[in-house]
Structure 1
């Protein structure tokens, strides 16, 4: 692992992205529709500063960028599994309602577990900030616009919670690991058991 240590990221400042010549930015296919403008719930005063810091870190990491779009989606915060840190969740129901669904389907979890039955599994790699590895095409970013204390922003990276993110990302990971399937791994979205 020390030979490949540059491939590991421990926070947003160290994460990379897939090469655009192999993985071009994603166009979000939509049916004709009217732009939506949804009012966000207020940020509770007790977490306001922490939320602002999270937004700033995502701007610095290139996940968010300013937007002048007609669209506005909601977002909210949840507490992560550790019970301490916050995570921003983008409510993409309006976008999902007008998105033309991708035809890809990730493998069924029972088939994945059968693949490893009776075999040794040395570990499972979890790709860091999975969907942030792939950009959204500039022409599709406005669909993801949301209001923040720093003005309106839009997502630059493949959004978690968008109806097509899972099949697109799974397809990307299996393409990267195609030479290792099935004898070394059988990836499942962002989890790579070895």
Structure 2
């Protein structure tokens, strides 16, 4: 990472600060789902999905081709071990299908969960994100550094039990 920084773009002190932050926050770096965590429930409470009244559904499963079946099972088990999937006795079941990735990819398949029915009963959040310019201007005159989570996604927060 440090080799990719142009020599004239940062001072030696700034480069030393980057190196220090990387070493101090080494556990913040995740390169697969098993290393990845979730946002702290202290700051981000479980998310309750607001929905309209509806009847629970049981979608028929989409057959998994035998050629990738073992890969699909392995990916699902890896996701369970990483805490992304868990066994359930829910009244709902959405279909999923797997897409084979390029040979040599890790994982070898991508799991796609069909959430169209969930989307049809979900009440969209109307809150807008904060104005980034106003947010940045509040730090004028201050020295700061930040870490950005480029590996977070829909599973960065826990979903509430009711949802």
Deviations 1:72-98 (A, max 9, x none): 111111245788431111100000000
- Counterparts of 1:145-164 in structure 2, within 5 Å, are none
TM-score scaled by length of structure 1: 0.58
The structure with the largest strand share of the pair is: 1
**Aligned Cα RMSD in Å?**
2.5
Consecutive unaligned residues in structure 1, runs of 5 or more? 108-124, 141-194
Task: Give the CA deviation at 1:129.
Answer: 4.2
Q: Does residue 102 of the first structure (1) align with residue 121 of the second (2)?
A: no
- Counterparts of 1:40-189 in structure 2, within 5 Å, are 40-80=61-101, 84=105, 85-105=108-128, 127-140=150-163
CA distance in structure 2 between the partners assigned to 1:73 and 1:37 by the alignment = 7
CA distance in structure 1 between the partners assigned to 2:104 and 2:124 by the alignment = 34
Compare CA radii of gyration and give the structure with the larger one: 2
* Larger RCO, structure (CA 8 Å, separation 6 or more): 2
TM-score scaled by length of structure 2: 0.68
Shift >6 Å, 4+ stretches? none
Matched position secondary structure for 1:77? strand
Q: Using a 3 Å threshold, how does the CA distance of structure 1 residues 129 and 40 change in structure 2: closer, same or farther?
A: farther
CA distance in structure 2 between the partners assigned to 1:20 and 1:27 by the alignment = 13
Q: Does residue 24 of the first structure (1) align with residue 45 of the second (2)?
A: yes
